[in-house]
Structure 1
Amino acid sequence: MKTVSILVGGLLLAGCAFDAAPAPHPVLPAAMPATAPDQPASDMPAMGAVQDIGTAEVQRPITGSCGMENFQHHVGQPRVSVDSRSLPPNYRVIGRYSRVTMEYIPERLTIRIADDDTVESITCG
């Protein structure tokens, strides 16, 4: 019986002592050639003179129909300075970690709150 135990133990130990093949080395992509910091990118257009901006057509920002213009004085103020009774019926308050839907509703007033509990922005959507 003692001989059988020794043989079984030896076989178990022999099974654990196999030599595994080494893991293959990962293939890394070739490094991109570095460009000199003063070398301009060839695909970038040349910058125009400041005077050229005056002739460009300027588009008005999207404002929607939520009345956001009436609440812009709250931007930069503490969150509690906004009286909820003065807000339109369709509004939402969004913090940094708030989960929100991404659809654009022009009639909805969106108030974003910064980490320091101040009003960061007031927009429609």
Structure 2
Amino acid sequence: MRFALVIVPFMALAACQEEGVGDDPQSLGATDACGASGWQGLIGEHRDVLAAMTFPAPMRVYGPDDAVTMDYSPERLNVIHDEDGIITRVECG
């Protein structure tokens, strides 16, 4: 009985927690750790322009049919393009 008196308040608190709060890596304070804000001018350009540029490491370029890992790395610059090779997003992760 004593165990129930101790554990029930913690269970009640857990039930009140909002789902998904704190799950988004962007909410962890690493919103621009890779410097993506400085590369937003690439949006709308073709991915071929990247070949002549120098980027900080780590960095990856991928499109809709490319396989990528789902790990989040706030220091990594991601350049994402569409099916036609047009850059649609530049973000950390």
Sort the TM-score into its range (normalised by shorter chain): 0.5 to 0.7
Amino acid at match of 1:107: E
What does residue range 108-119 of structure 1 map to in structure 2 within 5 Å? 108-119=76-87
What does residue range 1-125 of structure 1 map to in structure 2 within 5 Å? 63-83=31-51, 85-125=53-93
Q: Which protein has greater RCO, CA pairs closer than 8 Å, 6+ apart? A: 2
User: How many angstroms apart in 1 are the aligned matches of 2:66 and 2:83?
Assistant: 12
Determine which structure has more spread, i.e. the larger CA radius of gyration: 1
Structure 2 length-normalised TM: 0.62
User: How many angstroms apart in 2 are the aligned matches of 1:84 and 1:124?
Assistant: 21
RMSD (Å) for aligned C-alpha atoms:
2.1
Contact in 1 for aligned 2:77/2:91 (Cα 8 Å): yes
Count of residues paired in the alignment: 66
Secondary structure in structure 1 of the residue aligned to 2:89: strand
Amino acid at match of 1:112: I
State the shift of 1:120 in Å: 1.0
Contact in 1 for aligned 2:30/2:74 (Cα 8 Å): no
Q: 1:115 to 1:71 in 2, by over 3 A?
A: same
- Unpaired runs of 5+ in structure 2? 1-26
Q: From the two aligned structures, give the one with the greater helix fraction.
A: 2
Moved over 3 A (4+): none
Secondary structure in structure 2 of the residue aligned to 1:86: coil
State the shift of 1:87 in Å: 0.9
- Unpaired runs of 5+ in structure 1? 1-58
Secondary structure in structure 1 of the residue aligned to 2:40: helix
Q: 1:84 to 1:108 in 2, by over 3 A?
A: farther
